[in-house]
Structures are given as C-alpha cells and as structure tokens.
Amino acid sequence: MRTSAWAEMQWRCRHARCVLVAVCLVLGQRSVCHGQVSFQSAVTLALVNSPQLKSAQQDMDKARAGLSVMKDIFVPSVVTTGGAGDSYGITLTVPTIFTVNAQSLIFSFQQRAYIHAAHSDIQAAQLALAEARNQVQEDTVITYISLDEAQNSADALNEQYGFAQKLVAIVQDRLHAGLDSDLDLLKAEREATQIRLQELQMEDNIVSLRDHLADLTGLPRGELTTQPESVPAFPNIETIEEDLKQNYSDSPGVLAAEANAKAKLDRAKGDAEYTWRPIVSFGAQYGRVSPINNVSDFYNLHGNYNTANVGFQVQLPILDKVRKAAAQQAIADALRAKQDAANLRGQEIEGRQKLARSIPELETKADLAELDYKIAQNQLQSTLIQLRAANGAPPMTPKEEQSAHIEERQKYLDYLDAQLQAAKSEVYFLRQTGQLGDWVQSPVSLPSESGEKDGTPASH
C-alpha cells in the first residue's frame, strides 16, 4: 500500500512538472515563427493534452474509489427514519416516532479477498496509465519524425518535378528536331506526371501528419513545422539488447495484465470462501416509541418510551449453490486472464527479438540507400562536367543532364524513406524496452557543420 501511494505521488509530481513545462512551452511557441515546434516540446505537450492519459487517470481514480468501497463496509452506516400515524388495535411492531440504525461488517474472509483484489485493481490502473503514457510518447515521436521526413521529401519531389518538366520541354524540342520519337515524349510526360502524383500524395501526407501532431499537442492546426536538430541521437540498440538479456523487465502493459489477472483471482477466492466461513457483523438501534398509538394499552412500558439495542451477529453460510456456481465462473475467468497475460508476455518477447533482429537490417538498408545516393551525386557531377566538355570527353546532352538530376533526387528520396523506416523500428524497440522516455529527455547534440547542405543529408 505504501509503495502504491508513493508511486502515485511520484506520478502526480511528474504530471505537475509536465503541466508547468507545457505552459511555458505554449507561451514560448507563440514567439516561434511559422508554427515551429521542437521535438521535446511536442512530446511534453502531448503528455499533458492526451485524452488517452486523462481516461487512464480516471480509471485509476475509479480503482481507488473501489478500494474505498471495499474498506468502508467496516465503517458503521447510520440511517435515521421517522414518522407518525394512527393505528387500531394491537400493532405487530412497536410504533416509533423515529429510529436510528447503525450497522457494519466486522470480519469476513470474503471481504478480505475483495480488498486484496481492489489493491490489485489500483496497481493495474497505475501500470495501465504508464502504458498509456508510453503509447502517447510513441505516437508523438513517430508522427514528429514522419513529418520531418515528409517535409524533406516534399522539397526533393518539388525539385525532381522541376527537372522532369525541363526534361519534357527538352524532349519536345528534340522531337521537333527529329532526334526523339513520340514514344520518348510520352515516356517523359508520364515520368513527370508520376512525380507530380507523388508530390501531391506527399503534400496530403504532410497535412495529415500536421493535423495529427496538432491534435496530439493541443496546438492550433496550421503550418506546424519540425526542428530536426532538436531530435536526440538514437542510443546503441545492441547495448540495450545486451542489458535486457541480463536484466529483463516486462513492459507496463504486461504487468498491468498480470495485476488485472491477480485481481480476478482474489475475487474468485472471495466468492469461493463464502460457505463455511463465519461472517461477523455489528448492529445498533435506538428508537423513540410513539405515544399517540395507545401502545401502553398493549405493552407494559413502565413509562419508558425509549428503546435501544446493540450487539454482534455471527453468520455461518452452509449451503449456497448459486454462489458456488458463481465462484466457479469467476475462477475460470481469472485463469483465462492469467493465461492472456502469459500470452501477452510471450508476444512481447517475440516482438522484441524480431525488432532487435530487424533494426540492423534496416540500418544496413539505410546505409545502402545513402551509398546509392552518393553514387548518384557523383554521377551527376560527372554528367555536369561532361556536359561542359571540360575534360575533353564527348559533351553530354541536356536531356541526359535532366535525367541525371531526376535520378539523383530519386536516390535521395529512397534514402530518406530507408532512414525513416530504421528510425521507426528503433522507436518501437525503445518503447517495448522501456527506454523511450529516457531517450526523449536525453540531451541533444549540437548539429554538425557537415550536415545537410544543398539537399545532402547528414549521416546518422
């Protein structure tokens, strides 16, 4: 109980700090031009604004209230009733002007199991809140880096479309000069149209990502842009994987499923412990006998119109088939929940292993795409030199120049996509291993001077 309260107090302190930081960030964002938002600002605002987190917090409040219900049954409940009326003949019960009744539970094996279940419910709700926090962080991070990649891709597609339009114009001139055929012109127009379609799709993707990021952070929709230099470098995945082999820890989602299964097992135990278990309760009553119903004609009150009683009651349930069947149903449900938690753990371990194996492959693909991009850059430079015939080689045609530009931009787009896929896998892995929050708050290294210039991406 103390651990649960301490964890709850820590979460509230972190939440208060997030709210304070978010307010400062919102005020600071107003001074940033063009709706630019940094990486950590976006994640912090999402944690404060997230409806998913608010729902998880309400579930925790509900679980805490459920524990109070289970415990407050030991606190006497007091009820007062009163009234007056006429009667004829002897009354079956002694009429009173008002009565005060108090009753409570003193001891019950069943109720003790229910209290244990309520504690497990609170633990499950706290873990579910932590899992929801991780989900919000993951969603915001993926949206942010996807938007950054989409913005760079849109710029590259815009340039590529410009080269494709120049190529169409050149092929048209060559067609008039009898150097190219109608088929060559159709191919050039088709390539330009295809690039334009990709550009439109990328613009639509940017709008969707911006709207989703605005919904996550609570910022107004509009021209939200990213700050690539604010994204911290990814940690060494191999080191994290090696640490996990020695110190494996379940995710909050798996722990929440286990806590939920334990709560169901405790409730099932309480249902099963109903029969042949004593139940001790307390009761007290005070009443003022009515003086207007001729009670003294039938009862010898000796002038005392006050009545009171107090005592304990012990019940021993012997046979209850309905509760026995309900207990069997609860046990089956609890065992199913326990099995579901075990299956979830197995799926999580398998997912971690697959991600750990896929990340080196995706990083290698990104490296390969970067090499292809650099090769295309070198080929473009060679084409431009040959176009000017500065090295004595046969001069290149303008058509070949535009084709080289289009190819170079395409390799750059392939590189951006491969880099994004590798980054997404690393984010998924960090989330499943519980390292995502630490990475988000890690310090950002200063951008290198050899970063992206003239469309050249910085290596990661």
Taking only the tens place, the pLDDT of each residue in 166-203 is 999 999 999 999 988 999 999 999 999 999 999 999 99
Residue 106 has pLDDT above 80, yes or no: yes
The listed range with the strongest mean pLDDT (120-134, 209-223, 443-457) is 120-134
Query: What is the distance between the alpha carbons of residues 138 and 47, in angstroms, rounded to a whole number?
Result: 11
pLDDT band (50, 70, 90) for residue 245? low
pLDDT of amino acid 400: 87
- Average pLDDT over the chain, rounded to an integer: 85
**Residue pointed to by tokens 């497990």:** 120
Taking only the tens place, the pLDDT of each residue in 110-155 is 999 999 999 999 999 999 999 999 999 999 999 999 999 999 999 9
The continuous run of DSSP H or E covering 105 comes out as strand 96-108
| Burial bucket for residue 187 (CB in 10 Å: 0-12, 13-18, 19+) | middle
Of 120-134, 213-227, 378-392, the one with minimum mean pLDDT is 378-392
Which of residues 361 and 14 earns the better pLDDT score?
A: 361
Provide mean pLDDT across the span 69-78: 94
Query: What is the distance between the alpha carbons of residues 287 and 104, in angstroms, rounded to a whole number?
Result: 19
**DSSP per residue, 332-380:** HHHHHHHHHHHHHHHHHHHHHHHHHHHHHHHHHHHHHHHHHHHHHHHHH
Backbone φ/ψ region at 454: left (φ over 0), alpha (ψ -120 to 50), beta: left
pLDDT band (50, 70, 90) for residue 451? very low
Of 105-109, 147-151, 455-459, the one with minimum mean pLDDT is 455-459
pLDDT of amino acid 448: 46
pLDDT band (50, 70, 90) for residue 6? very low
pLDDT of amino acid 26: 43
Yes or no: say if 425 and 359 are a contact pair by the CB < 8 Å rule. yes
- Catalogue all structural domains in the chain, each as residue range(s) with its CATH number: 2-440 (1.20.1600.10)
List of residues 6+ apart from 426 with CB closer than 8 A: 234, 237, 359
Query: What is the distance between the alpha carbons of residues 380 and 410, in angstroms, rounded to a whole number?
Result: 12
Residue 455 has pLDDT above 70, yes or no: no
Taking only the tens place, the pLDDT of each residue in 27-61 is 444 434 457 899 999 999 999 998 999 999 999 99
CA 255 to chain CA centroid, nearest Å: 15
The 306-315 sheet, strands edge to edge: 77-82, 96-108, 279-289, 306-315
Residue 239 has pLDDT above 70, yes or no: yes
Provide mean pLDDT across the span 371-393: 77
pTM above 0.85? Answer: no
The continuous run of DSSP H or E covering 252 comes out as helix 252-272
pLDDT of amino acid 391: 54
pLDDT of amino acid 427: 93
